[in-house]
Amino acid sequence: MKNKPYIILSSAMTIDGKIASRTGDPELSDEEDWKEVHKIRSTVDAIMVGKGTIVKDNPKLHIKYHNHHGYYRIVVDSMLSIPIESQVVDHEPKLYPTIICTTDNVSEERVKEFKNKKVKILQVGGEDKVDIKNLMPILYDMGIHSILLEGGGTLNWSFINDNLIDEIRLTIAPWIVGGEHATSLVEGGGFEKMSQAPRFKLVNVKYRNDYVILKYLRG
């Protein structure tokens, strides 16, 4: 695809591939890991998450450990249904301007509510979900040429399914948490055959304190 931002999928998961426990506890990373993730945040034009991550975790998506010039925070939310008081809206909007990507199925009033909070609204696709393939060149033309995709599992699947991931940075944390309803690294329908799934090339392996950090590039 032409005019597509470079997409780095970043996540921490348990040994059994869960990115949160069945009750939604996402505390997998240690401080060392957060420092590394914040370092990567300082190098990209934007961080992107799905609506589920905002509703469940209410993250600030900021940088705590390094000097930087800020970046866009991008939320994918088909119905503009995240709470307006979410930290991604209220926390340091000048340093980290927020863009919500949504559909045409949202009311003008709701759009106005977010615009009043200085959130930029992009309406992409009139179907029930945000069309992320159409979204890519729009973001690119706005000067967003690199994105750190920070989940969750449902949004990760859409990017994998559309073969949009260029790089993966994965931390394997030393737990097995189980739970068929605990969110996995990638949710969604999945592919029928391995041969249909995008393949990645392992380019780096690090480990410390029982954590393993893997880096893959598009195969």
CB of 9 to ligand NAP, least distance (A): 10
Residues in the interface with ligand NAP (CB under 6 A) total 31
What is the residue whose two structure tokens read 């996995």? 184
What is the residue whose two structure tokens read 């739970």? 179
Of 49 and 74, nearer to ligand NAP (C-beta) is 49
| Region of 90-98, 108-116, 147-155, 202-210 interacting with ligand NAP (CB under 6 A) | 147-155
| Region of 63-71, 125-133, 199-207, 208-216 interacting with ligand NAP (CB under 6 A) | 125-133
- C-alpha–C-alpha distance, residues 11 and 33, integer Å: 10
Q: Are strands 211-218 and 200-208 parallel, antiparallel or unpaired?
A: antiparallel
- Site membership for ligand NAP, residue 57 (CB under 6 A): yes
Asked if residues 203 and 43 have their Cβ atoms less than 8 Å apart, the reply is no
| Region of 12-20, 88-96, 137-145, 200-208 interacting with ligand NAP (CB under 6 A) | 12-20
Site for ligand NAP in 151-190 (CB under 6 A): 151-155, 158, 183, 187
Of 81 and 107, nearer to ligand NAP (C-beta) is 81
Question: Does the CA dihedral 83-7-181-127 come out positive or negative?
Answer: positive
Considering only CA atoms, which of 48, 133, 37, 53 is closest in space to residue 99? 48
Asked if residues 203 and 215 have their Cβ atoms less than 8 Å apart, the reply is yes
The Cβ of residue 218 has, within 10 Å, a number of other Cβ atoms equal to 15
CB of 96 to ligand NAP, least distance (A): 17
- Site membership for ligand NAP, residue 20 (CB under 6 A): yes
Q: Which of 49, 89, 99, 177 binds ligand NAP (CB under 6 A)?
A: 49
Alpha helices in 12-164 (DSSP H): 31-41, 51-57, 87-90, 108-116, 132-141, 153-161
What is the residue whose two structure tokens read 């469940």? 56
Q: Which of 50, 89, 139, 147 binds ligand NAP (CB under 6 A)?
A: 50
Residues at the contact surface with ligand NAP, assessed by CB under 6 A: 11-12, 19-20, 24, 26, 28, 49-53, 56-57, 76-79, 81, 129-130, 132, 150-155, 158, 183, 187
